[in-house]
Structure 1
Amino acid sequence: MEARWRLHADDPRRYCDTTRAQTLPQLFGSAYRTYLIEGEAIGLVNWRQMRPFKTTLRLVDPDLLCNPYDAADEERLRGGVEITRDGVARGYHFRRGHRDSAWPNVAEAMSWKRIAREGRNGRPQVIHFFDKLRDGQTRGVSRLAPIVERLKMEDHYSRVELQAAVINAILAAFIKSPIGPEMMEEMFGEGDGETFLNYQSDRAAFYGGRGGVKLGGARVQTLYPNDEIGMVSTARPAAQFADFEAAVLRHIASGLGISYEQLASDWSKTNYSSARAAMIEIWRGWTARRVAFAQGFCQLYFMAWLEEQVLDGHIALPRGAPDFHTFWPAYARAKWIGPGKGFVDPVKEAQAAAMRVALGLSTLEEEAAELTGTDYAENMEQIGREISAMPEGMLHPAQESFAKLLGPAVAGPAQTSED
């Protein structure tokens, strides 16, 4: 089963995608990002007869899920989701074309298609995943909704600071004329505007000429009599800009469920203990969301794919096995592995993982998945091949005593080096 799944999911020809644009891990990643931004992820399980694996996945923009003809919500139709008396989603109405697309097609933008949630034998046809926050909710809510105002504030303030810095750079210096408001009023009040015009013409001719004193080939610029050079202060960004931006980013990070350091990529004020504590707290929330997404989105597609493989005879059930559709969830039960947590201190965390396994608090499979995002079974197969390729008398690192990795922290008081 795993071998055929890898053929399907990792095929570089991308037959698993209805649009042939992404591999299956990429599709799941795109769906998860859509869920984080829009609050929901939608996929259609299609059937393409001419492909090596007929089951394919098509991601759908949540904007296309809406009531036909943009009608108001009703008791049994809310946000494009058709529900039963018990509140079960049984059908979805999709707009055939986005009304804000660059190639407007009125016929498609004003036509809808209804797709049932499940097909024959309960085969998933529409996968709709979102966090249900209250009873009766049929659509997801974006995690960015509570922080949209702060995002706009930070963006607007940054733009204003940038504009001010550009203006300061353009007007870096200027020349001050000795003629003040009193002299201007005196000139024009007596009707002697010609004197002022002559004065300005002389200044323009002076600055427009190529005159000046040269010392050693270098030109020394001279000013018109009584003129002065003034400089514009370039104190940009403002002194409070960094503090304001940090405060806004902290609010945004709190709304997203991550740390300020991760959002701003600013680790200058963080030590190991703080970074480790923040990672543990954040990882707990991300793990919960990732597990929920795997069960509510990825698992449904895997069930549809597995049904095809069993019914077509590519995967044979053991003799005397229970009926497939009766025990479908049990046959399709799987553990989904995502990206690893990574390391702050690789040595300490590897030792801690070994200690958890030694004390029975965890397993090698769980530690491999959590720390590095790898499959322990595949790791063991590869290590077996590496050991067989080793020259005689040479030991593979994995063959060393497991206790050496733990160090003296778990050694008993009666243990000696000879033991």
Structure 2
Amino acid sequence: MAVRSLTEVPRIPRKRGALRDAGFGGSAPYVAADTGIDTLAGFLPTNRAVDAEVLPGRDRITARSRDLGRNNGWAAGAIAKEVDGVIGANFRPLLKPDWRALGLDADWAQEFKETIEARWRTYADDPRKFCDTTRSQTMPQLFGMAYRTYLVEGEAIALVNWRARRPFKTTMRVVDPDLLSNPNGAADEARLRGGVEITRDGVARAYHFRQGHYATSWADGSDAMTWKRIGRESATGRPQVIHFFDKTRDGQTRGISRLAPIVERLRMEDHYSRVELQAAVINAVLAAFIKSPMGPESINEMFGDDDGMQALLNYQSGRKEFYGSSGGVKIGGARISTLYPNDEIGMVPTARPAAQFADFEAAVLRHIASGMGISYEQLASDWSKTNYSSARAAMIEIWRGWTARRTAFAQGFCQPFFMAWLEEQIMDGHVRLPRGAPDFYAFWPAYARAKWIGPGKGFVDPVKEAQAAAMRVSLGLSTLEEEAAELTGTDYADNMEQIAREVAAMPKGTLHPAQESFAKLLGPTTGPSMSPED
């Protein structure tokens, strides 16, 4: 018998290919590229041009996303929460003209800011809704609808129209993305894809719109086969079509729904919860049943011939007559009379929903929440397991994502329209530039520079967060304007004007709360405080 060395490692029998299954000894430098591993053998996606990936399945994805937004409560809630958090009820510009780039002074910039913002408020919030080409929504409502369209369908499209008979001639028409398509349903080409004309440099030059939707409920659909070409910009650079979407790769011309990665999970959860609800309803309605002693084999054995079938019918008629004449078997009324000979009462199990339903639903909702960029607690409206620290951390993460989306949407969709509106104010003489001011068109972005304000972040602990805001301002890390916009979604200048009026209206010898110093605000509070673990 051979003597085994003390340093020799004994061989452990392994099934053939086990090391390859685990990712060892592969045929490619990267395991991710190895086609011989069982777990990746059938995972063979192909590399395609981005429009070859997006455009063929875009209509189907859009239709499914719309359906989920209409009929799935979780999807509808997530969409509403993001629209409310990013756009809200009063999305508006805070004008910041770049007076240094224009060679003008700060006093002019302040006067220009106040004049333009006052005119914008009159225009955007007018109850007559002249800002909307269809006269159905105010400007913040138009922005909200456009953002919802971007979220569900992957892109927001608007036409910048001119209506000469209105008080403000510049108007917006938010367009259904279904109307943007190649004329006559033609196949995509190198310079015309998804209804978008593209230059050699990849610039969107013009857009082709159907004049009516191809699927309508009315008989006359002739407009659906008529297309209109609209250039991206006029000769002066004035926007005519605003097209906003998330461009993830070079060469992409159309957007894809933000719900696309989670459509399958949303559908699975919706189907599973519906089946559980149906089972629970059936259990509630059908609490008990009567079991007959006559099974299929007994019936075939006893009533197999023609005479037997007649006997079976007589047997069933007798049971029916018996239960009918006895008033039936009442379970809810707690009265059970005698049963037909050999019949038994069976009870329906009531263990619904299934024991694993809550855990399964929570796991699916976490996946959906991650795909939507919100927290599980927000999506499910379940705060039962949330403390201050976790709520604060979730708010910071979510707010970071919403702030990025708000900035992108404001720059890509809202700001071009604001620039078109500002052009009207300057060119029609409603707002005059000072003598010697630079040419408006040459410095258009500098005149129209703005920060867009939406809903505030809100508070988890109002006392602590107000103190933190005061500390940031006192240390020069932030400004009162930024804190007002972030925490409450208000304009600091408007707040100061209102406070000045309130101070003037205070009784003599009474201090307004805003007249207290920051030192007091930063001092210890007399009320109960919440620790991070609460």
**TM-score calculated relative to the size of structure 2:** 0.72
- In 2, distance between residues paired with 1:103 and 1:211? 54
Structure 2: distance between partners of 1:262 and 1:343? 15
Q: 2:339 aligns with which of 220, 223, 233?
A: 223
Counterpart residue number, 1:151: 266
Alignment-derived partner of residue 233 in structure 2: 118
How much has 1:284 moved relative to structure 2? 0.7
How well do the aligned residues superpose, as a CA RMSD in angstroms? 2.2
1:305 is matched with which residue? 421
CA distance in 2, matches of 1:333, 1:105: 45
Q: Is the 8 A contact 1:37 1:142 kept in 2?
A: yes
Q: How far did 1:359 drift?
A: 0.9
In the TM superposition, residue 255 of structure 1 has moved relative to its aligned partner by 1.1
- 1:252 paired residue number: 368
Which letter maps to 1:112? W
1:136-191 Cα offsets, whole Å, 9 max, x none, are: 11111221111111122112222222332333334321112344556545532585
| 3-state SS, counterpart of residue 343 of structure 1 | coil
When residues 210 and 351 of structure 1 are mapped into structure 2, their CA distance, relative to the original with a 3 A threshold, is same
2:502 matches 1:386: yes
CA contact (8 A) 1:187 1:195 kept: no
State the 1:344 CA deviation.
1.1
**Aligned equivalents of 2:336, 2:347: Cα separation in 1:** 18
Structure 1 gaps, min length 5: 410-419
1:52-77 deviation digits (Å, cap 9, x = unpaired): 10000000011111111111221211
SS at match of 1:283: helix
1:14-413 map, 5 Å: 14-103=129-218, 105-180=220-295, 183-188=298-303, 191=307, 196-210=312-326, 221-408=337-524
1:45 counterpart SS class: strand
SS at match of 2:248: coil
- Residue by residue over 1:257-307, the C-alpha shift from the partner in whole angstroms, topping out at 9 and shown as x without a partner, is 111111111111221111111110111111011011111111111111111
Q: How far apart, in 2, do the equivalents of 1:120 and 1:198 lie?
A: 91
Equivalent position amino acid for 2:140 in 1 = P
Deviations for 1:348-389, whole angstroms, at most 9, x for unmatched residues?
111111111111111111011011111111111111111111
How far is 1:91 from its partner? 0.7
Q: Which amino acid aligns with 1:35?
A: Y
Q: Distance in 2 between matches of 1:169 and 1:134?
A: 53
**1:18/1:204 CA distance change after superposition, 3 Å:** same
106-115 vs 48-57, greater mean Cα deviation: 106-115
CA distance, structure 1, for counterparts of residue 348 and residue 208 of structure 2: 61
Moved more, 5-14 or 142-151: 142-151
Gaps of 5+ in 2: 1-115, 526-534
Residue 485 of structure 2 contacts residue 491 of structure 2 at CA under 8 Å; is this kept in 1?
yes
Matched residue SS, 1:120:
coil
In the aligned structure 2, how far is the partner of 1:33 from the partner of 1:172? Answer: 45
Render the CA deviation track for 1:113-154: whole Å, top value 9, x for unaligned: 010111131111111111111111111122111111112211
Q: Which amino acid aligns with 2:277?
A: L
Against the structure 1 CA distance between its residues 69 and 195, is the aligned structure 2 distance closer, same or farther, given a 3 Å change threshold?
Answer: closer
Letter aligned with residue 328 of structure 1: W
Measured in 2, the distance between the counterparts of 1:247 and 1:388 equals 56
Q: Whose RCO is larger (CA < 8 A, sep 6+)? A: 2
C-alpha displacement at 1:218, in angstroms? Answer: 9.5
- Checking the alignment, whether the CA contact within 8 Å between 1:44 and 1:58 is kept in structure 2 is yes
Task: Report the CA distance shift for 1:201/1:101 in structure 2 as closer, same or farther (over 3 A).
Answer: closer
TM-score (norm 1): 0.91
- Per the alignment, do residues 356 and 70 of structure 1 end up closer, same or farther by CA in structure 2, a change over 3 Å counting? same
Q: Distance in 1 between matches of 2:304 and 2:259?
A: 63
**CA contact under 8 A between 1:116 and 1:125: conserved in structure 2?**
yes
Cα 1:158/1:104, change in 2 over 3 Å: farther
Q: For residues 81 and 151 of structure 1, do their structure 2 counterparts lie closer, same or farther at Cα, with a shift above 3 Å needed? A: same
Alpha-carbon contact 2:326-2:337 (below 8 Å) kept:
no
Q: Does the CA contact (< 8 Å) of 2:302 and 2:308 recur in 1?
A: yes
How far off its partner does 1:34 sit?
Answer: 1.1
Amino acid across the alignment from 1:128: H
The secondary structure found in structure 1 opposite 2:158 is strand
Preserved contact between residue 43 and residue 127 of structure 1 (Cα < 8 Å): yes
The separation in 2 between residues aligned to 1:332 and 1:348, in whole angstroms, is 36
Q: How many residues align?
A: 406
Percent of paired sites with the same residue: 81
1:181, 1:106 → 2: CA distance? 59
Matches of 2:251 and 2:363 in 1, distance apart? 36
Q: Secondary structure at the match of 2:351?
A: coil
Could you say if the C-alpha distance between residues 350 and 168 of structure 1 is closer, same or farther in structure 2, counting changes exceeding 3 Å? same
Determine if contact 2:160/2:241 at 8 Å carries over to the other structure.
yes
C-alpha separation between the residues in 1 aligned to 2:336 and 2:281? 28
Residue of structure 2 in register with 1:414 after alignment: none
Distance 1:328 1:164, change over 3 A: same
Kindly provide the amino acid, as one letter, of the partner of residue 344 in structure 1: V
State the SS of the aligned residue for 1:287. Answer: helix
Change (3 A) 1:369 1:187: same
| SS in structure 2 at match of 1:336 | strand
Q: What's 2:41 paired with?
A: none
Name the aligned partner's letter for residue 494 of structure 2: E
Which stretch of the first structure deviates more once superposed, 17-26 or 247-256?
247-256
